[in-house]
Amino acid sequence: MKKTSTRLADGRELIYYDSRDDRVRDAVDQRPLEATRTSSEIRYDAVRDDWVVVASHRQGRIYHPPADECPLCPSRDGRHSEIPDTDYEVAVFENRFPSLTPSPVGAPEAVEGALPGNGRCEVVCFTSDHHASFADLDEEQARLVLDAWTDRTAELSALPGVEQVFCFENRGAEIGVTLGHPHGQIYAYPFITPRTERMIASAAAHRRRTGRNLFDDLLAAELRDPARVVVKGEHWTAFVPFAAHWPYEVHLYPNRRVPDLLALDEAERAEFPRVYLDLLRRFDRLFEPGEGAGDEAAADAGRPAPTPYIAAWHQTPGRARGADGGELALHLELFTIRRTVGKLKYLAGSESGMDVFINDVSPEQAARRLREVGER
């Protein structure tokens, strides 16, 4: 992998990741951009014991532009985008409308109950092909994305004040995606997120109670009774969790427990693209095209309607490595908010008001369906 770092016209960093060492990236951003003006604040919710990011400048971000004005496509035919080059494999750049921003010199002191929204938000473009998706990548391209995630985890974790790095992809307008180009994001938080804190606490309690690792026991239980296993590889296992929150939810674990992406060995890195692409393609075959799935163009072309999903990497935060957080296992959680053809899973009273999920699809039924669509 070759990594080339450059700057956009407003000073934001842009990084190209290429599979060839001889690839030269020297295109210059020709846009007359002014320095970005952003401000965010992190406010403490004393009742829930968690943090809320307030980033009002994001109201002006780009919203569903036409394909010929996509800011994530390469710069071609006189149209300049966030990617100055005419083509790319994988590109990562600082978000123009970030939820978290590096602390400027001379920033005001924190007020009671609030902190400056220090951190960093990056966009990860998986391919220059606007009409593709992650599932359309080949294994070599998917491996390059994995290498980029790993590199960004290492780089961002080393930034002052960063406590946790979160790599993820939102896909589909139903999820709230505002740019159709295949891409994901990376957040570098100045705190450990509430979800991760809960997982660390659960793992620590399990260790005290049993003397064993929680994530080792979860994976072992799924392998003993494979009713919910979707894909089993030599180095990775994908399964629907026993208490899945979402109609179709799959967790992907390395068979060897590791804390983060940096700790994966070459064999695990080599197998990941095949297993992950298999999962994404199964998700796209879950719902038959043309039956109210909301994608007439896909139905007319005979392709499955794209399934909206969120794919989220869970890693051990750097500061937690030496404490109870050392119990946390790297894994990816993939889920869709679509529960059946033409119907979405909405978070209503019980879920949004009380954080108690009600799942319309049993985990065993979901796993069986995901295994079936893999046989087509």
- Segment 329-340, tens digit of pLDDT: 999 999 999 998
Q: For residue range 97-106, what is the model confidence (pLDDT) as tens digits?
A: 888 887 654 4
Written as one string, the DSSP assignment of 158-188 is TSTT--EEEEEEEESGGGT-S--SSEEEEEE
In the block, tokens 């990741």 appear at 17
Q: What are phi and psi of 116, to 5 degrees?
A: -60, 145
Closest to 279 in 3D by CA, of 361, 175, 371, 363: 371
Q: What pLDDT does residue 206 have?
A: 97
Q: Are residues 21 and 166 in the same domain?
A: yes
Q: Are residues 219 and 175 in the same domain?
A: no
Q: What pLDDT does residue 323 have?
A: 54
Q: Are residues 187 and 38 in the same domain?
A: yes
Q: Are residues 68 and 132 in the same domain?
A: yes
Q: For residue range 138-181, what is the model confidence (pLDDT) as tens digits?
A: 999 999 999 999 999 999 999 998 999 999 999 998 998 989 99
Q: Are residues 59 and 199 in the same domain?
A: no
Tell me if 309 sits within 8 A of 171, measured CB to CB: yes
* Beta-carbon count within 10 A of 53 CB: 18
Q: What pLDDT does residue 18 have?
A: 98
Q: What pLDDT does residue 371 have?
A: 97
Question: What is the set of active-site residues?
Answer: 183
Q: For residue range 267-295, what is the model confidence (pLDDT) as tens digits?
A: 999 999 999 999 999 999 998 654 333 44
* Domain C-terminal end among 191, 215, 230: 191
Per the structure, how many domains does the chain have? 2
The pair of structure tokens assigned to 281 is 């393609």
* Domain C-terminal end among 175, 191, 207: 191
pLDDT of 304 > 80? The answer is no
Q: What pLDDT does residue 61 have?
A: 59
Q: What is the CATH number of the domain that holds 56?
A: 3.30.428.10
In the block, tokens 């946790």 appear at 164
295 three-state secondary structure? coil
Q: Mean pLDDT check: name the lowest of 6-15, 44-53, 112-121.
A: 112-121
In the block, tokens 């529960």 appear at 339
CA gap 291, 262 in Å, rounded: 43
CB-based burial label for 270 (10 Å; 0-12, 13-18, 19+): middle
Q: What pLDDT does residue 367 have?
A: 97
Q: What are phi and psi of 275, to 5 degrees?
A: -70, -45
Q: For residue range 239-266, what is the model confidence (pLDDT) as tens digits?
A: 999 999 999 999 999 999 999 999 999 9
CB-based burial label for 148 (10 Å; 0-12, 13-18, 19+): buried
CA gap 88, 324 in Å, rounded: 41
The CA-to-CA distance between both ends of the chain, in Å, stands at 34
Q: Are residues 20 and 168 in the same domain?
A: yes
What's the length of the chain?
376
Q: Are residues 123 and 268 in the same domain?
A: no
Q: Are residues 167 and 234 in the same domain?
A: no
Q: Are residues 334 and 261 in the same domain?
A: yes
* Domain C-terminal end among 191, 212, 231: 191
Q: Are residues 272 and 206 in the same domain?
A: yes
Range of the domain at 335: 195-373
Q: Are residues 115 and 184 in the same domain?
A: yes
Closest to 221 in 3D by CA, of 206, 200, 204: 206
Q: What pLDDT does residue 135 have?
A: 97
Q: Are residues 9 and 29 in the same domain?
A: yes
pLDDT of 41 > 70? The answer is yes
Q: For residue range 71-104, what is the model confidence (pLDDT) as tens digits?
A: 999 999 889 999 999 999 999 999 998 888 876 5
CB-based burial label for 156 (10 Å; 0-12, 13-18, 19+): buried
Q: In this prediction, what percent of the chain has a pLDDT beyond 90?
A: 71
Helix (H) or strand (E) holding 207: helix 194-210
Q: In sequence order, which residues have a C-beta less than 8 Å from that of residue 297 and are 6 or more positions away? A: none
